[in-house]
Homo-oligomer: A and B are copies of this chain.
Amino acid sequence: MLTPPSLTTQRTWEIYPRPIQDDIAKLTQAGCDVLFNPDVTEMYADNEKWHLAIGELEGLLEGEFRPGHYRGVTQVVFKLFDIVKPHPAFFGQKDYQQVLVITQMVKLLNMPVKLVMCPIEREADGPAMSSRNIHLTADDRQHALILSKTLNNVKVNFDSNHIEQLIQDAQAAINNEPGVKLGYFEIVDGDTLHPANKNTKNVVALVAATVGKTRLIDNVIIR
């Protein structure tokens, strides 16, 4: 998902890695028939100042670190759905919160689209695949392994009676890794993003950290 140029994310749009020729080659190879690839001026009128506020979900976790980000996402995804009118639409689990936010938008606005969450694709040694990974130096790449490793540890050792301890240990492990600055590591209710407790049905662990100069996110569905 390209980040749209809302007031708060204009800069992100411009520095986002956009190897569109590579994407087109991959899409062609995968048998894609049609690509919708508008430029900014096709999607946005000048000085377009509106947003949909979908409620609490947009302000938690990533929303705290990137205020307004998910309002840019819902705005551009609303436009995308309105233009393309997809029956199903596929979003990656890697931005788990984005999936929740778009799900909430679709529900609130009663949009005629079925959302499908696609599992995270990982490198052989663990890290979630991401267009941002090209920004990582070889050293960054090594340090970044702590994120997927810690998520996996939490999943394997999950014990709903000791969630706080699991979180603290995970945060400590990441903080101890050189070159890694932890944003958050949380174990939450997978529907509300509120802290999980022993009665929580759907549990997800989410992490955000800056490795070198690159901010990465990852998550794992625990149950």
Contacts and interface: CB of A to CB of B under 8 A. Distances in A.
A57 B78 CA distance: 21
A134 to B, nearest CB: 35
B50 A50 contact: no
A110 interface: yes
How many copies the complex holds: the figure is 2
Contacts of A54: 50
Contacts of A50: 52-55, 104, 108
Contacts of A109: 78, 82
Contact of A110 (B55, B82, B110): B82
Contact of A53 (B53, B56, B78, B82): B53
A110 B109 CA distance: 13
A56 B49 CA distance: 8
A52 B55 CA distance: 11
Contacts of A104: 50
A71 to B, nearest CB: 9
A51 interface: yes
Interface of A: 49-56, 78, 82, 104, 108-110
